[in-house]
Amino acid sequence: MAFSLGTLIYVSLLLVNAIAILNEERFLARIGLSTQSPAAYPTGFDQAYNDPSSGGGSGSGPSVRTQLVNLIGAVRTLLRLPLIAVNVVVIAYELVLG
């Protein structure tokens, strides 16, 4: 019975936290998801889903990896300050009422 909206909120908060703490140079660049070099290091993960001909969004819209890079960049840029506030609130709630 632990599966509810509250759990879902916690899970999504932790997932967004996990996305937000990804390091640009140390992690994202090594697996080819960096914002600076989108198509620099195609790995096996990308090969499975990404067609080389449509890489980088040249032909028919952005590829999966481009969208993923955009998403991660947007989360890391946009949600940093709100995440701090939300985390503080959740931690305080857990300390008092958890």
Partner 1 sequence: MLHRPPAPQVSRSPPPLHHPIPTHPHYAIPDPPATPLDAHSPHPKGQQGQQQGQQAGGYMRYTSSPMQPQAGFSPPPSYGGQQGYQPLGDMGGIGNMGMAGMSAPHMGNMGIPPTQQQSVQGMQMWGVNDATAAMGMQFGQSAMRAGQDYLDKNFSIHVPLPLIRHQFNVSNSYVLHKLRLLVFPWRHRPWARKPKQSDTGAQADGWQPPREDVNSPDLYIPTMALVTYILLSALQTGLQSRFHPEVLGVVASKALAVLLIEFLSIKLGCYLLNIQEHGQVMDLVAYGGYKFVGVIFTMLVGLLQLGRSVYWLTFLYAFCATAFFLLRSLRQVVLPDASAAPSNVTVTSAQRGRRIQFLFMIAVSQLLYMWILAWV
Whose Cβ is closer to partner 1: residue 51's or residue 94's? 51
* Least spacing, CB of residue 22 vs partner 1, in Å: 17
The piece of 22-30, 33-41, 59-67, 82-90 that touches partner 1 (CB under 8 A) is 59-67
- Are 32 and 46 in contact by the 8 Å Cβ rule? The answer is yes
Give kind and range of the element (H or E) at residue 84: helix 80-97
**Which of 46, 93, 38, 30 shows the shortest CA–CA distance to 71?**
38
- Residue 94 is a binding residue for partner 1 (CB under 8 A): no
String of contacts with partner 1 for each residue 64-83, x by CB under 8 A: x--xx--x------------
The piece of 5-13, 29-37, 80-88, 90-98 that touches partner 1 (CB under 8 A) is 5-13
- Are 66 and 74 in contact by the 8 Å Cβ rule? The answer is no
Residue in this structure with the two tokens 């890489």, named with its chain if needed: 55
- Number of CB atoms found within 10 A of residue 66's CB: 18
Give the binding site for partner 1 (CB under 8 A): 1, 3-8, 12, 49, 51, 53-54, 59-64, 67-68, 71
